[in-house]
């Protein structure tokens, strides 16, 4: 039997993976960038085949990885993690610098960045794993801790959407909510307010005169665009 809670004991960081150039680029939030060899230093990034960014990585052959700080704003998670760049330019208004390959690096809330040249692509079903050689890396801030997936989930009460490799579907998530550690994170089940796990927006049934369950499945968080299933009853 697979105990889904065991999967949450695996540690990850949180990153913005970006590909493209100064003309056109895109990026997404990832919790699955990791170093795979030391000599030469190589990294892997696991990217959903439906992510718009996958197309940029394939086309340009490079990606950058902004290592996010523990203080990363909810807006950044909403912007890069819950919306696709197919509909708008995600880079507009961001603080950017350009790497050796001309790939943009998102500097917002970043404490370090890596720049990588893709050398291989592995098909793992729903996702590609892009394996890449490190060509540049820099620390941007010594003062702030990096964001971990654990911190994002427990302290910031964030969740990962469908395209993330660590996505948990609703029925399994309910099982997760029954665990001791998550029990402390969610408030009473009898309340009729729901909080967006991404940006913190509160949906109040009384104010909106509509029960949360009556909202259509296509309904999105009015602040950050997160899906209905990303709301937690509080
Ligand atoms: C906390 C978090 C972790 C995520 N991790 C991944 C990941 O490792 N791989 C992935 O493909 N998508 C991941 N996602 C989902 C993508 O960021 C999301 O689908 C994004 O909207 C894709 O953007 P794009 O279509 O513009 O590339 C994650 C999202 C969040 C919020």
User: What's the pLDDT tens digit per position in 186-228?
Assistant: 444 444 788 888 877 889 888 888 889 889 988 988 878 888 9
| Nearest-CA residue for atom 14 of ligand 1 | 164
State both tokens at 60: 């340009």
- Closest protein CA for atom 1 of ligand 1: 160
- pLDDT given for residue 187 in this prediction: 41
pLDDT digit string (tens) for 84-135?
999 999 999 999 999 999 999 999 999 999 999 999 999 999 999 999 999 9
User: 101 CA to middle of ligand 1, Å?
Assistant: 23
Contacts of 27 (CB under 8 A, 6+ apart): 16, 17, 18, 19, 53, 80, 85, 90, 91, 104, 106
Ligand 1 cavity residues, CB under 6 Å = 14, 26, 28-32, 46-48, 51-53, 77, 80-85, 127, 152, 158, 160-161, 163-165
The per-residue pLDDT for 233 is 81
d(Cα 63, Cα 113) in Å, to the nearest integer? 11
Are the C-beta atoms of 28 and 81 separated by less than 8 Å? yes
C-alpha torsion 159→77→25→137, nearest 10: -90
Q: Ligand 1 pocket test: which of 18, 48, 94 has the largest number of ligand atoms within 8 Å of its C-beta?
A: 48
Q: Which atom of ligand 1 is nearest to the CA of 83?
A: 21
Which residue of 68, 94, 160, 199 sits with most ligand 1 atoms within 8 Å of its CB, as the best mutation to test the pocket?
160
> How many whole angstroms separate alpha carbon 188 and alpha carbon 192?
9
Rounded to two decimals, the pTM is: 0.82
Q: Whose CA is nearest to atom 20 of ligand 1?
A: 81
Mean pLDDT value of segment 21-43? 98
In contact, 45 and 63? CB cutoff 8 Å: yes
Domain boundaries, the chain: 12-139
Place of tokens 């941007």: 140
Q: How far is the CA of 190 from the centre of ligand 1 (A)?
A: 31
Angle at Cα 95 formed by Cα 79 and Cα 47, nearest 5°?
45
Query: Ligand 1: distance of its center to the CA of 80 in Å?
Result: 7
Dihedral in degrees, nearest 10, Cα atoms 85, 88, 90, 96: 130
What CATH class does 12-139 carry? Answer: mainly beta
């Amino acid at each position: 039997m697979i105990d889904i809670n065991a999967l949450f004991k695996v540690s990850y960081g949180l990153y913005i993976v970006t590909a493209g150039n100064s003309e056109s680029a895109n990026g997404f939030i990832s919790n699955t960038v990791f170093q795979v060899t030391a000599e030469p230093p190589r990294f892997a990034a696991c990217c959903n085949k439906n992510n718009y960014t996958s197309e940029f990585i394939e086309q340009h052959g490079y990606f950058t990885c902004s290592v996010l700080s523990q203080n990363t704003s909810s807006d950044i998670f909403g912007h890069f993690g819950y919306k696709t760049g197919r509909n708008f330019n995600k880079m507009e208004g961001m603080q950017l610098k350009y790497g050796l390959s001309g790939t943009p690096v998102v500097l917002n809330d970043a404490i370090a960045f890596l720049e990588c040249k893709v050398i291989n692509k592995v098909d793992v079903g729903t996702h590609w794993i892009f394996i890449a050689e490190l060509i540049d890396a820099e620390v941007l801030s010594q003062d702030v801790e990096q964001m971990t997936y654990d911190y994002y989930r427990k302290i910031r009460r964030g969740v990962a959407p469908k395209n993330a490799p660590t996505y948990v579907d609703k029925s399994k998530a309910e099982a997760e909510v029954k665990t001791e550690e998550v029990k402390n994170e969610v408030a009473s089940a009898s309340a009729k307010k729901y909080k967006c796990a991404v940006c913190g927006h509160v949906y109040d049934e009384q104010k909106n005169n509509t029960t949360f369950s009556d909202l259509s499945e296509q309904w999105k968080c009015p602040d950050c665009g997160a899906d209905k299933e990303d709301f937690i009853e509080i």
